[in-house]
A and B are shown apart, each in its own frame.
Chain A
Amino acid sequence: MDLMKDYNKKVMTNEALQNLISTWIPELEFTEADSQFLNITVKPEHLHQLMSQLKSNEETSFDYLFCLTGIDYEKTLGIIYHLESTAHRHQLVVKVQTEDRENPTFDSVWDIWRTAEFHEREVFDFFGIKFNNHPNLKRLFLTDEWEGFPLRKDYVDEINMVIK
């Protein structure tokens, strides 16, 4: 078995990816500033459509969601999806944000990548971001009675947190 095959191949450049994806959905923002990946910012209402197309399109074929990060930008709450194609080996970052801090909600992507089921539960647990159509959205690490969402920037716990 030739195991030294195509380990460094990268089929689509960031430019080609941008040209292709920008034709699918309007109002996508592309940037490569301050990052090693091509970043796409998408509006919440287009998130699921974009994600399923990124996975199903044969040219992009992003079948591996290798990281799903919740983030609190203080004014907004957001999710960062790191994607890779195991066939083509190109990588991409998709970002989505909402200004609603009381009831932040995005569409779940667990039906596209099964790994998102646990990762979204983790984000729900620590950021309080809800996901539509998630099969089992409840706290994963903390107890059900826990108040607040610890990874938010405005979370206060005077007893358990050591502040420097």
Chain B
Amino acid sequence: METTIKNTNFKSEEYFINMGPQHPATHGVLRLLLTIDGEIIKKVEPDLGYIHRSIEKMCERDSYQQIVHLTDRMDYLSSHINNEAVCLTVENALQLEIPDRVKVIRTIIGELTRIASHTLWWGVMGMDVGALTTYFYGFRDREMINDIFEETCGARLTMNYNIPGGLMFDIHPNFVKRTKEFIAHFKTKLPEYDTLLTGNVIFQKRMKGVGVLTKEDAISFGASGPVGRGSGYSCDVRKHHTYSAYDKVTFNEALKTDGDSFARYQVRIQEMWESMSIIEQLIDNIPEGDVQVATNAVIKLPKGEFYQKVETARGELGVYVNSTGTKNPYRLKFRSPGFSNLSLLNHIAVGGKIGDLVASMATLDLVIPDIDR
């Protein structure tokens, strides 16, 4: 008996559906307008602005010390690194000599932040593609880092530990010990991530060849961070425009050339190993010295334009300041990594299925407040 219908009156028709703003896989209030034909994606159009706070406009009326505290509400998983970006801009503009102790502590906490962000990403990314256990593994390990932050900075997420001129206060006496404990712990746990998920055939089939981005497109779309490096594009700001103590340590830039979701996944796993290596090189050699240099109570930047880029867990964060010599910036722009990485979503998702879109989006590692600044 014939089991397939050959001549039907069924028509292929395009229609559009909403994904979000309250969708678990968008990790925040991101709304995507999907034009689809059956399950094939024809177009993805993000609709943004649900949590836009106009941070750039607020910066124009705030002092530089206050601006630091706005930045960790952008990419809240890289809050320390965002704070550092503004502090470095101010310090470079004022030509302050920052003590080595500050640079090393900033670097260690920055790398702990990166590991915390990547473990959270790994947990929720696994959950997006149907592996529920990863969530608990990721959050278990991230909890240890949050405890270290809580002890030293007083907060677990939006740390506000940096100030222009140094750090708010010195590290907690337990900081070195607990960081070492975490590294020893995580060295035994990170291989478990690979055992649980990386080698899983079902997982690999959902990731390999999905959401392919070529190197040329990565550069043209302004991709950065693990998204760019998964396409073989060497874009690590820590290497190319080094800052803080990254010139004192040796580490490899994680690069993969496949450009698919699995390559971006592998880059982040490798980055966690590199971050641990950076912390190990510095943790026993934190120089003695002050943790602040004195600045005026009212910071006025000289007239001119200043640009600083740093590598957050998501890629290149740029801070552009146009100063007229007053206590507020005349114009301040944040070039956020998530905004550029989101702009290529349509490019890599068209032609795939809705499930592939979820996998691609999970490996772009979008944080919505970073896009809606």
Contacts and interface: CB of A to CB of B under 8 A. Distances in A.
Interface in A76-91: 80, 82, 86, 89
Contacts, number: 90
A64 B304 contact: no
A140 B48 contact: yes
B142 interface: no
Q: Is the interface of B mostly helix, strand, loop or mixed?
A: mixed
Contacts of B37: none
Nearest to B335: A67
Interface residues of B, number: 43
Given A66-B222, A66-B318, A71 B239 contact: no
B49 interface: yes
Contacts of B250: 4
Given A115-B221, A117-B343, A141-B48, A3 B372 contact: no
B304 A35 contact: yes
Contacts of B304: 33-35
B217 interface: yes
Interface string A55-78: 000000001111101011000000
B87 interface: no
B252 A3 contact: yes
Nearest to B239: A7
Contacts of B220: 63, 113-115
Contacts of A4: 250
Contacts of A93: 305
Contacts of B316: 66
B135 interface: no
Interface in A32-46: 33-37
Given A67-B335, A115-B340, A118-B342, A34 B303 contact: yes
A149 B231 CA distance: 37
Interface in B206-264: 217, 219-222, 233-235, 239-240, 242, 250, 252-253, 255
Is the interface on chain A under 10, 10 to 19, 20 to 34, or 35 or more residues? 35 or more
Contact of B320 (A80, A114, A119, A161): A80
B52 interface: yes
Contacts of B253: 3
A122 B334 CA distance: 12
A142 interface: yes
B343 to A, nearest CB: 4
Contact of A82 (B240, B320, B343, B344): B320
Interface in B312-345: 316, 318, 320, 322, 331, 333, 335, 339-340, 342-344
A141 B339 contact: no
Given A65-B222, A82-B320, A86-B233, A36 B306 contact: yes
B54 interface: yes
A162 B278 CA distance: 43
B318 A67 contact: yes
Contacts of B52: 141-142
Contacts of B306: 36
A10 to B, nearest CB: 11
Contact of A66 (B49, B234, B255, B335): B335
B323 to A, nearest CB: 9
B331 A71 contact: yes
Contacts of B333: 67, 69
Interface string A123-141: 0000000000000000011
Given A37-B307, A67-B318, A140-B48, 12 more contacts: A7-B240, A33-B304, A36-B305, A66-B318, A69-B331, A82-B307, A82-B335, A115-B222, A118-B339, A151-B54, A151-B56, A151-B57
Sort A-B residue pairs by CB-CB distance and give the 4 closest, nearest first. Answer: A34-B304, A115-B222, A141-B49, A118-B343
13 contacts: A3-B253, A33-B304, A34-B302, A34-B304, A35-B305, A67-B333, A71-B322, A86-B233, A93-B305, A115-B222, A122-B339, A142-B52, A150-B54
Interface of A: 1, 3-4, 7, 33-37, 63-67, 69, 71-72, 80, 82, 86, 89, 93, 113-115, 117-119, 122, 140-143, 150-151, 161-164
